[in-house]
Amino acid sequence: MRVKVISRVEEDYTRECKTDALRVHRNLDPELRPMQRATEYKRALNAVKLDKVFAKPLVGQFGGHADGVLCMAKSPTSLTELVSGDASGEIRIWDVPSRKTLRILSGHRGATRGVCVSKDGKLVVSCGDDATVRLWTLPKAQMGDMSDPTRKIPKVTTTAVWQQDNGFRDCDAHWGKNEFATAGATVQVWNMERGKPMHTFEWGVDTVLSVRWNPVESDIFASCGTDRSVALYDVRMETPLRKIIMQTKSTKLCWNPMEAFNFTVANEDTNLYSYDMRKMDIATCVHKDFVNTVMDIDYSPTGREFVAGSYDRTIRIFDYNAGHSKDCYHTKRMQRVFCTRFSMDGTYVFSASDDFNIRCWKADASAQLGTLSAREKRKHQYNASLKDRFKHMPEIRRIANHHHVPKAIHKATKLRRTMQDAETRKAKRRVAHAAPGAEKKEFKPARKKKILAEVE
Amino acid sequence: MARADALDAALETLDARTRALDAPRATDADDGEGGGGGGGKRRKRANEATATAKSIERDLRERAKKYVVGERVSSRLAGDKKVKAALRENQNLAEEAALKAAAHERWFANDEVGTLEAEEGERTYQYQQRDIVRAVDVNAAKKAFDLDVPGTGRYYVDYSRNGRELLLGSSEGALSMMQWQKHHLISETDARETVKDVKFLHNEQFYAAAQDRYTYIYDKRGLEVHCLDDHMHVNKLTFLPQHFLLCSVGTQGILRWQDTTYGKIVAQYRTKMGASNAMTHNNYNGVVHCGHKNGTVTLWSPNQGTPLVKMLCHRGEVKGVTIDKSGKYMVTSGQDGQVKVWDLRTYMPVHAYYSAQPSSHIQISQRGLLAVGWGSTVQIWKDALQIKQNSPYMKHQFSHGQKINSIAFCPYDDVLGVGHSRGFTSVLVPGAGEPNFDTFVANPFESKGQRRENEVARLLDKLPAETIQLDPDAVGKLRAVPKEVQAERRQLAIDAELSRRKDQRDKNEAKTKMKGKNRTSKRYRKKQLNVIDDKKLAKMEAKRLREAGITEKRGGVAAPGETAGAASTAPHAPDGVSKALRRFYK
């Protein structure tokens, strides 16, 4: 007779002393875990509820400006630096971790409309209503103890001032060269070492509102203006490349840093439109949800999401290919948002608003900050994949899609929905019931509807 | 020892794989050489290595089948390109996970499945318990013991989920909990009432006892914590650990599910088939199986007031029901002396065994051993569910007069606990239990902290009672409703609305017409009918004349003989002009 029975000695299965780690034994047989699918569904439900419990996105605010903050710029070399300009002309350099002002750059005699930081992070370019472009050098001096309340904030004066005839609306530094572009009555390309623009592009007589360099194709940049146009330029050519005319004005635009042929414009009609620069007769995506003019947009360095701020006092975060926002941030005190920026590590979002404040938010409202242990990381990954797996279930979708918004915005959204539905209904009926022989009116999709013309 | 073996085997596998990987390179080199003297030999070796690698791969895929969850769905079914890609990626990941689990299996294994093999010319069922005890090591031999307490009633047995604690309840009212391997008595209490069944709740901290009238919950110390006065005259208890539901059935034939986390009765249904003595739940989907006096077994979920399935299993009373771990096979025993195996996927009988007497004690162990007890005999059958066996695997005979009352396999151990009329006996059954436990499922060596953490984790994962249904994988799935069904439903809804409106119309018409007759204005108008004035006189006169055949015309009295419709045939109107227009032709 050969016999073997299970015979476990407790010492082999338990730790020797209390300081040892507990012993863990695994058996991956699915039969030991019946109803696994239901359990996972329950866990997904718990995870999505916990997300809402932990959704506390506001990290802090940067107080100090004495007027509405109109523009911001992030440094390409430093995670801790942020530059902002306000309507009184003051520019401040911020130390992000301590939320204190490092430097005040004063010189503008009208509102600062645009700031940008050069690619090496040493120069700040600003322009504004006083028709000047100003260059500022940032001294590399130790700032001392940031927590000291009696600390004096040093003032920096302009390195160079270049006066022009018309006010400026925006400026953007080149991603690779020592150049920048300004938008105003015309689009001008400047070298940081010369006092005169190298190129001037004109197309019609209207003001250009925003200009952005393409991060990959180093000679190409895009602009949008008050003539409702979104235009592409190439510095190697005398004239602008092409433009589209939309039904309403676009306020700002931003390139997707990872797919640099795609860019998104923030439009006055409350939507954002993503375009492929190779095929501008149709938008790749229309991003809806705001209820008032979208004032600014900025992509995350990952190119997977972007943040937009609106005149309706909210900022929203969108997936680059999603029609609706995945989150909406607002506070009681935040006024009209003029400028939004993603931090260079993609974890935070900055918003500058009319209430003289800059606010810092988490890009993912319920993200756990700080150093995570390996177990915590695994847990978050597990929860994320569970949420993804069951995202179509009605209960989970309902909880995940619920965002609290102020009552006024809630009402406005509802009203807009009603109006849009009626419009769509009417358009469809017009097509369906057109008299026989009458000119057929085409039903245009939203991606095409707002594009009036394409000009070469 | 087992670990060292596993290590060797794994190293071998690894070696063979490396060889297989090198094989094509070696062949290439041979070709480059243009076939030297050693080329053929080397090629042969390479081919052998490839063959070994292939067989290992095949073996791995075979073993991985166990770890595959769900079925592979053809990505062709998905219409959208992105969905298709995501589906394919997910399924590949799942397949990879299963392969990895199979590859790591031997690294996780601490122990091997117990075995009992007979010598030449002998049969395993011929071995007595004392032979087995003599053949195993001291540590294992300690697991076979006998608690001989004659005259204290018949004993009911239950093991905790990790198999460490044993719960005994006697029909005379003695309740005791012990750590049976250490022979350590944890608590002992006297219910002073007949006990008819005992069951551990989610861990060893609480247990339920079905007593003469009500069911009670006791804690580890043996103190009565709750009296469940809804569960009256209960015969059988079962506990669904993932749902935290205590289910009972008794002489009234009412099934009750009670949530043990917050005490609410989730559902109670009359089986309408009289008292029931056999009940268990299916681990695979949480459905409760209940055996009845008329030979049927009914499947119940707390979400439906009628049985999900009714199976006629025996001629005569169903005395015992048990289900294997995978939820595929159910075994029932009946008054007709049969022990039948059923396939729960088709609800068809697989085959049947006979017991010498009607058996009311059947259990299936974690590794699929079937124990059948009647009178003072317990038979254990191996591999008896899928294939019909000719002889039992083991037999255990108690002394005459020791009537078996309850049997239970100890989880994660090779032990069968038998409660009988003289106490309790622990019997060694090699190959009964799962040798490799999972710390996060059930841990026989759980510390206090681990127990607490586990309790919290399981409460977080507690499933709602709504998830109990025949197909547990249906949870979290969206069902696409076919277009025809949608159209049918729409038509039904329209029909229902139309019939509702018709009913309402009929109802309105059938209403009494007297409504409103007594209104003040109506009464006033009626009174006015009796007042005779000039206008009325004229009207009455006109009426009288009309009845007499004389029509009064506007502008004069009609000539005698002229009919009332004469005006319509005015001479000026041309033919073909409609009646309504004739008045315009004068």
Which pLDDT band holds residue A33 (cuts at 50, 70, 90)? Answer: very high
Name which of A6, A39, A396 to mutate to probe chain B: the one with the most chain B Cβ atoms within 10 A of its Cβ.
A6
User: To the nearest whole percent, how much of chain B has pLDDT over 90?
Assistant: 68
Residue B23 pLDDT class (50, 70, 90 cuts): very low
Residue B32: is its pLDDT beyond 70? no
Each residue's pLDDT tens digit, A115-124: 999 998 889 9
Do the chains contact at B472 and A26, CB–CB below 8 Å? no
Q: How close is the nearest chain B Cα to the Cα of A377, in Å?
A: 18
Q: Could you give the number of structural domains in chain A?
A: 1
* Confidence at B567, pLDDT banded by 50, 70, 90: very low
State how far the Cα of A384 lies from the Cα of A389, in Å rounded to an integer: 9
What's the pLDDT band for B551 if we cut at 50, 70, 90?
Answer: low
Bridge partners, residue B148, by sequence: B423
pLDDT category of residue B17 using cuts at 50, 70 and 90: low
Single-letter residue type at B419: G
Q: What is the pLDDT confidence band of residue B509, given thresholds at 50, 70 and 90?
A: confident
Determine whether the interchain pair B476/A30 forms a contact, defined as Cβ–Cβ distance below 8 Å: no
More confident residue, A438 or B227: B227
Interchain proximity A3–B136, CB inside 8 Å? yes
**In the structure encoding, which two tokens stand for residue B96, read together?**
């990879």
The tokens of A384 are what?
């994320």
What mean pLDDT comes out for the span B191-210? 96
CB-CB under 8 Å, A42 with B114:
no
pLDDT at A443: 75
Q: What is the pLDDT of residues B334-347, one digit of tens each?
A: 999 999 999 999 99
Query: What percentage of chain B carries pLDDT values higher than 70?
Result: 89
Q: Over range B406-428, report the average pLDDT.
A: 96
Given pLDDT bands bounded at 50, 70 and 90, which one contains residue A306? very high
- pLDDT category, A453, cuts 50, 70, 90? very high
Structure tokens at B73: 């769905």
Question: What end-to-end distance do the CA atoms of chain B give, in Å?
Answer: 128
pLDDT at residue number B523 = 86
Length of chain A: 456
- A3 contacts chain B (CB < 8 A): yes
- Per DSSP bridges, beta strands A160-163 and A155-156 are unpaired
Residue keyed to tokens 């049918």 = B488
Say if CB B200 and CB B169 are below 8 A apart: no
CB contact under 8 A, A27 and B476: no
Q: Would you place residue B203 in the very low, low, confident or very high pLDDT band (cuts 50, 70, 90)?
A: very high
Q: What confidence tier does A203 reach under pLDDT thresholds 50, 70, 90?
A: confident
For B470, counting Cβ atoms within 10 Å of its Cβ (0-12 exposed, 13-18 middle, 19+ buried), the class is middle
- Decide if A30 touches B, using CB distance below 8 A: yes
Helix (H), strand (E) at residue A410: helix A407-432
Percent of chain A topping pLDDT 90? 77
The fold of the B143-472 domain, in CATH, is: Methylamine Dehydrogenase; Chain H (2.130.10)
pLDDT reading at B583 higher than 80: no
Query: What is the pLDDT confidence band of residue B584, given thresholds at 50, 70 and 90?
Result: confident
**Is A26 close to B438, i.e. CB distance below 8 A?**
yes
- The 3-class SS string of B428-497 reads ECCCCCCCCCCCCCCCCCCCHHHHHHHHHHHHHCCCCHHHCCCCHHHCCCCCCCCHHHHHHHHHHHHHHH
- How do residues A367-426 score in pLDDT, each as one tens digit? 999 899 999 999 999 999 999 999 989 999 999 999 999 999 999 999 999 999 999 899
Q: Which domain holds residue A266?
A: 79-294+308-313
Is the pLDDT at B542 greater than 80? The verdict is yes
Question: From the candidates B441, B446, B470, which should be mutated to test the interface with A, based on the most A CB atoms within 10 A?
Answer: B441
Q: Which residues in chain A have their CB less than 8 angstroms from residue B438's CB?
A: 25-28, 32
> Does residue A197 lie in a domain region?
yes
With a pLDDT cut of 70, the percent of chain A lying above it is 98
* Residue B9: per-residue pLDDT: 55
Please answer yes or no on whether B115 and A35 come within 8 Å at the CB atom: no
Mean pLDDT (chain A, rounded):
92
Q: What is the mean pLDDT of chain B?
A: 88
DSSP calls for A87-135: TTS-EEEEETTTTEEEEEE---SS-EEEEEE-TTSSEEEEEETTSEEEE
Task: Provide the pLDDT confidence category of residue B365 given band limits of 50, 70 and 90.
Answer: very high
Q: Does A18 touch chain B (CB under 8 A)?
A: no
Q: Which residues of A fall within a CB distance of 8 Å from B65?
A: none
pLDDT at A140: 64
pLDDT at site B250: 94
Distance between CA B328 and CA B347 in Å, rounded?
Answer: 10
Cβ-nearest to B117 among A2, A25, A38? A2
- Domain assignment present for A265: yes
Tell me, what's the pLDDT at B72?
Answer: 81
B440: which chain A residues are within 8 Å (Cβ-Cβ)? 24, 26
pLDDT for A433 equals 85
User: What is the Cα–Cα distance from A170 to A436, expressed in whole angstroms?
Assistant: 52
Biggest alpha carbon–alpha carbon distance for chain A: 106
Please give the pLDDT value at position B557: 45
Q: How far is A255 from chain B (nearest CA, A)?
A: 24
List, for residues A230-273, the tens digit of each pLDDT value. 999 999 988 888 899 999 999 999 999 999 999 999 999 999 99
Q: Would you call B463 and A35 a contact, using CB atoms and an 8 Å cutoff?
A: yes
Distance from CA of A48 to the nearest CA of B (A): 13
Higher pLDDT, B25 or B347: B347
Q: Among B124, B344, B440, which would you mutate to test the A interface (most chain A Cβ atoms within 10 Å of its Cβ)?
A: B440
Asked if B67's CB is within 8 angstroms of A28's CB, the reply is yes
Q: For the segment B305-327, what is each residue's pLDDT rounded down to a tens digit?
A: 999 999 999 999 999 999 999 99
Longest dimension (CA), chain B: 145
Mean pLDDT in residue range B110-130: 92
Closest CA to A107 of A65, A71, A168, A157: A157
Residues in A 409-438 with any Cβ partner in B closer than 8 A: none
Contact B132 A3 (CB under 8 A): yes
Least confident of A111-115, A201-205, A298-302, A414-418: A201-205
In a domain, A176, yes or no: yes
CB atoms within 10 A of CB A298: 22
Residues of A in contact with B67 (CB under 8 A): 28-30
**Matching residue, tokens 């000695």:** A9
Chain B interface test: which of A33, A35, A40, A391 (most B C-beta within 10 Å): A35
Residue written as tokens 């003072």? Answer: B376
Q: How confident is the model over A155-178, as pLDDT tens digits?
A: 777 788 999 999 999 999 999 999
Residue type, B336: D
Please tell me if residue A53 touches chain B, with a CB cutoff of 8 Å: no
The pLDDT of B124-139, averaged and rounded, is: 94
Choose, out of B133, B182, B245, B443, the residue to mutate when testing the contact with A (most A CBs < 10 Å). B443
The full set of domain ranges for chain B reads: 2-108, 143-472, 520-584
Whether residues A24 and B439 touch (CB distance < 8 A) is answered with yes
Is A57 among the domain residues? no
Adjacent-strand bridge partners of B115:
A4
| pLDDT class of B7 with cuts at 50, 70, 90 | very low
What CATH number is attached to the domain comprising A156? 2.130.10.10
- The answer to whether residue B30 scores a pLDDT higher than 80 is no
